[in-house]
Amino acid sequence: MVSTKEADIHVVVRQVMDVKDDAGADVRLRDLDLVFENTAEGVAIRARYRKTVNWTWKAWPPVSLAFEIRVPRACDLELMTRDGAITVGDLQGEVSVHTLKGTIFLREIEGKVKAVSDQGNVSVTACSQALTIAAKNGNVLIGRANGPTEVSDVNGLLEIQNARGPLHASGNGADLKIGFAYPLSAAAQLETAGGDITASFDTRNAGLIDAHASRFGRVRVRDLPLTITSGKIGSSQLQALLKSGGPTVSINASGGNIRLTGTTPMP
């Protein structure tokens, strides 16, 4: 999916089939429903193969489709695929994507984003507004999350390089790696079961850190000046102030360790 300055929508569909001749292709295409229509909300494109899967040594479905769609830069998108990747370029508008099996990659989105992947990785370069991601079996990588962010991940790595707004990040069998940009302006909740959490803070930030590792886990600190109010470094729990205090960052690693690190801003 590519955005352009044009007002029109351009669609190119590539069909791939394992056939010997045109007659074989006609047989395969007979059961493919490929619909393009204008609706009150915009343009809808749907593809479905009517036959149910039977025992076969050949690939299913018999016709593989690849869509290249060029849309106006300012528009809303709703995309879903059962087996395939979704890529969206820079866009001004709301984006909703869902793939049952495949990767999702979104570049810089100036609008709300909702992304769901049942099996596959999810990557977002930047989102300016509310960002909601659920990855049930894959990794999540977010560059800049500037608005309210809700992210969950199962059996993977969840990484946010620069978080600025309210944040809730949760994992199940997943490690979390979260970077908090300056200024820290909203509360955050990080939690995972069966994984470790690494949280890094711009050293100019002010806030309250409430960290709880597993019973046999440890809270470790590196290059981050803290005023400890409860617990201690190297124990399973720690409460501490960044500078004079501010928004609370709650960190809970059930079955894992917690690492708190400081990052020095560029001059």
Domain boundaries, given as residue ranges, for the chain: 1-74, 75-263
Q: What are residue 110's DSSP bridge partners? A: 92
What digits encode the pLDDT tens for the residues 129-164?
999 999 999 999 999 999 999 999 999 999 999 999
What digits encode the pLDDT tens for the residues 30-52?
776 777 777 776 677 776 766 55
- 169 Cβ partners below 8 Å, 6+ apart? 149, 151, 152, 158, 160, 176, 178, 188, 189, 190, 191
Looking at residue 135, what is its pLDDT?
A: 96
Identify the CA nearest to 63 among candidates 26, 32, 34, 24: 32
Identify the CA nearest to 247 among candidates 211, 203, 208: 208
What digits encode the pLDDT tens for the residues 96-126?
999 999 999 999 999 999 999 999 999 999 9
User: Distance (Å, rounded) from C-alpha 130 to C-alpha 149?
Assistant: 6
